[in-house]
Amino acid sequence: MRRFWTIVIFVAIWAVSLSAAGEICLKKTSYKTEGGAVPRYEYESSQIYDAKARVLEKIYDEINDDGRRRTKSIVKFDERGEREIGSVEYDWDFGAEKWCKAGFSKIERTKDGAFVFIDTRGQNGKLNQGQKTVEKRTGATEISQNFTLKNGKWTPTYLIKRLYDENHKTTLVATFEWNTKAKKWTPYEKSIYRYKGDVYASSEGYKWQGKWVPQTKNSAFTAADGMRTEINFTWGEDAWQPQERTVQKIEPKFRRFTDLRCRWDAAKSEWNGCYKNVREETEQGRLKYSASSFWQGESQRWEVVFENELSYDARGNLIKNREMSDGERREYVYAYDEAGNNVSSALREPDESGKWRETQKTVNVFEPDILARDVIDRGFIGDYVAAGKNAIKSSMQYFLDGDEFKLNETLEWFYEECEPSHE
Domain that holds residue 204: 4-417
Asked whether residue 335 is assigned to any structural domain, the reply reads yes
Residues 278-300: b if buried by 16+ CB within 10 A, e if exposed: bebbeeeeeebebbbbebeeeee
Lowest mean pLDDT among 31-45, 245-259, 327-341: 31-45
Q: How far apart are CA 92 and CA 112, in angstroms?
A: 39
Asked whether residue 176 is assigned to any structural domain, the reply reads yes
Residue 423: is its pLDDT beyond 90?
no
Q: In 167-269, where do the E strands start and end? A: 170-179, 184-196, 199-208, 212-222, 228-236, 239-251, 256-265
172 contacts 178 by C-beta, under 8 angstroms: no
Mean pLDDT of the 88-104 span: 95
Q: How far apart are CA 20 and CA 423, in angstroms?
A: 9
pLDDT confidence bin for 252, thresholds 50/70/90? very high
Q: How far apart are CA 61 and CA 71, in angstroms?
A: 7
Mean pLDDT of the 254-275 span: 95
Mean pLDDT of the 246-263 span: 96
341 contacts 364 by C-beta, under 8 angstroms: yes
- Other beta carbons within 10 angstroms of residue 6's beta carbon come to 8
Q: How far apart are CA 26 and CA 46, in angstroms?
A: 8
What percent of the chain stands above pLDDT 70? 94
Residue 129: is its pLDDT beyond 80?
yes
Q: Which CA distances in Å does 142 have to 188, 285, 292?
A: 17, 38, 40
Residue 17: is its pLDDT beyond 50?
no
Collapse the DSSP code of 196 into the 3-class scheme (helix H, G, I; strand E, B; otherwise coil) and give the result: strand
Asked whether residue 24 is assigned to any structural domain, the reply reads yes
Q: Which CA distances in Å does 266 have to 98, 296, 350?
A: 64, 19, 44
Q: What is the DSSP string of 282-305?
A: -TTS-EEEEEEEEEETTTTEEEEE
Strands 24-33 and 239-251: unpaired
Q: What is the DSSP string of 30-71?
A: EEEE-TT-SS-EEEEEEEEEETTTTEEEEEEEEEETTEEEEE
- What are the pLDDT digits (tens) for 378-419? 999 998 778 889 999 999 999 999 989 999 999 999 999 997
- What are the pLDDT digits (tens) for 174-195? 999 999 999 999 999 999 999 9
Contacts of 229 by beta carbon, 8 Å cutoff, 6+ apart: 220, 221, 222, 223, 245, 246, 247, 248
Q: How far apart are CA 128 and CA 139, in angstroms?
A: 36
Mean pLDDT of the 255-268 span: 96
**Count of domains forming the chain:** 1
The answer to whether the predicted template modeling score (pTM) of the entire model surpasses 0.95 is no
- What are the pLDDT digits (tens) for 276-300? 999 999 999 999 999 999 999 889 9
Q: In 313-355, where do the E strands start and end? A: 318-325, 328-336, 342-350
- Model pLDDT, residue 421: 61
- Model pLDDT, residue 136: 97
Strands 390-401 and 126-138: unpaired
pLDDT confidence bin for 6, thresholds 50/70/90? very low
Q: How far apart are CA 303 and CA 82, in angstroms?
A: 51
Residue 234: is its pLDDT beyond 70?
yes
List, in sequence order, every residue forming a beta bridge with 121; answer none if it has no partner. Answer: 103, 129
Asked whether residue 149 is assigned to any structural domain, the reply reads yes
Asked whether residue 422 is assigned to any structural domain, the reply reads no
pLDDT confidence bin for 311, thresholds 50/70/90? very high
Residues 345-366: b if buried by 16+ CB within 10 A, e if exposed: bbbbeeeeeeeeeebbbbbbbb
Asked whether residue 44 is assigned to any structural domain, the reply reads yes
Asked whether residue 423 is assigned to any structural domain, the reply reads no
Residue 10: is its pLDDT beyond 60?
no
Strands 24-33 and 375-376: parallel
Asked whether residue 127 is assigned to any structural domain, the reply reads yes
Mean pLDDT of the 73-84 span: 94
Strands 318-325 and 301-312: antiparallel
Across the chain, mean pLDDT equals: 92
The CA radius of gyration of the chain, in Å to the nearest whole number, is 27
- Model pLDDT, residue 327: 87
Q: How far apart are CA 305 and CA 275, in angstroms?
A: 10
CA 153, 156, 157, 163 dihedral sign is positive
pLDDT confidence bin for 22, thresholds 50/70/90? low
Residue 13: is its pLDDT beyond 70?
no
